Each structure stands twice: as structure tokens, then as C-alpha cells.
Structure 1
Amino acid sequence: MTIQLNEENGGKVLVVHVSGKLVKVDYEQFVPEVERLVRRHGKLRMLFDMADFHGWEASAAWEDFKFGVEHFADIERLAMVGEKQWQHGMAMLCKPFTKAEVRYFDHADASEARKWLSET
């Protein structure tokens, strides 16, 4: 699994590129970075880019659930950019687990996702 984090808009937007299958150790990089940005900026906007993403191992799915509970109110907007029908469904399923406004965008519309994240 590859996870790549990039800050945009002065750190107010976190772009998370994931590919392959998420494993538990991936959260050891991801969670502290989110927490650092929340301490610095308050609520974040996040673009979750799922190019070539294949899901989670069971232990990583648990880490993802814990992250959602612990950071329920730390994300203001979440743009999920994907290329598969199940990824669209995943975006809809995560809505009850966050206070964030969640939208799904097809990969062809990634620029629209960035535009939406930067709107006030």
C-alpha cells in the first residue's frame, strides 16, 4: 500500500493519495499528520484520492473506524475522488460517521473536487 500526503492552501487542505490496499501501519503516518494539521489550522478539508485503491485489510479497517470516531468533527469537507462504483458507495456510507460535508467525484472531475474544497 502506498499513502502520500500533501498539504495545499497553506495546510488547510490535506490531499491523501492512496493506492493498493491500506494496512494498519499506514495509519501510523496518516493519523499524526492529520492531528498536527488540526492543531495548527483547526478544521481541515481533505481530498481522498483513490486512484488504484483496493480497500483495507481488516486491521486497517479498524484503524480507519477509530480515526473516524476520534476525528468526527475535525474535518469540515471531504472530497472523495475515485474511479469505481464501490468507491462511490463508500463515500455515501461514511457520511454518518463524520460531521464533514462529504462529496464523491469521479477521477475525471478531480479539478471540481479541488474547487469545491477551496470554496468558502
Structure 2
Amino acid sequence: MLNFSIMQAEGILLLKPSAPLSKEDFGNLSADVDAYLSEHGKLHGVMVHAKGFPGWENFGAFTAHMHFVREHHKQVKRIAMVTDTPLAGIAELLAKHFTSAEIRHFPFADDIKALEWLRGV
């Protein structure tokens, strides 16, 4: 399950995965992000905030995730990975191959610092 919201004024997408991600999660996410991008053109940042990564329900969910990244990565300036999972470093390295966005890892408890970084403060 992927909970998300867009901070409209700041142009920041907040992602909070809490259970294995589904194809429907990315369909819903794409619809809202596409609507925002049609008005604003880009996202200043994306925050992924999770204690750990819950994985995907199935291969269809994984491919929907990759499709979302491919379709939207050029419209994102910064990505904050806010998590304590030991896989964060690997995820950060892999993500750099799929996006030109600046990516930074923050401990799970430092979501405020991550948000300030996304805002450019």
C-alpha cells in the first residue's frame, strides 16, 4: 500500500509505503502526479518516508513502479530517501542510474530535515 500526498504550494510529493506495493498504487499515484504536472510542469522534490521497504505484491506492481519512474523522472529536481533500511544506500546508487534528480538519504527520524532540503532551505 502506498499512501501519498502532494504539497501543492511547495511542489513536493510525499510517499509513504506501508505494505507491499500494488499496480493500483502506481495507477492512482500517476493520475494525481500527472494532474499536478499538467498545471505546474515539475515537482521540486519527492520524499520517500518508510521505516523499511515493503516490496511489491507481484511482478506487475514492480513493472508499474518502473513505468512510473520512467515517465516522471525528468520532472523531479530532488529525491529524499527517508528510511533506516540498510538497503537505502543500494537503492540510492541504483536510483541514480534511472534519474537525473539529486538524491539524498536521511535517517527515518529526520523527515523535517529532509523536507527542508527538498524545499531548498
TM tier, shorter chain?
0.7 to 0.9
* Alpha-carbon separation, structure 1, partners of 2:49 and 2:27: 19
Closer/same/farther in 2, CA of residues 5 and 11 from structure 1, 3 Å limit: farther
* Alpha-carbon separation, structure 2, partners of 1:41 and 1:25: 24
1:30 lines up with 2:29 in the alignment? yes
Q: Secondary structure at the match of 1:96?
A: coil
Which residue of the partner structure matches residue 96 of structure 2?
95
Detail structure 1 runs of 4+ shifted over 4 Å in the superposition. Answer: none
Q: Which runs of 5+ in 1 are unaligned?
A: none
Q: Aligned letter for 2:5? A: N
1:81 lines up with 2:82 in the alignment? yes
Contact 1:11 1:41 in 2 (8 A): no
Alpha-carbon distance, 1:55 to partner: 1.3
Closer/same/farther in 2, CA of residues 71 and 7 from structure 1, 3 Å limit: closer
In the alignment of these two chains, the number of paired residues is 119
Contact 2:46 2:80 in 1 (8 A): yes
Alpha-carbon distance, 1:9 to partner: 5.4
Contact 2:46 2:78 in 1 (8 A): yes
- Structure with the largest fraction of strand: 1
Which residue of the partner structure matches residue 17 of structure 1?
16
Contact 1:11 1:37 in 2 (8 A): no
Alpha-carbon distance, 1:52 to partner: 4.7
Q: Which runs of 5+ in 2 are unaligned?
A: none
- Superposition pairs of residues 41-80 of structure 1, within 5 angstroms: 41-44=40-43, 45-56=45-56, 57-80=58-81
Alpha-carbon distance, 1:20 to partner: 1.2
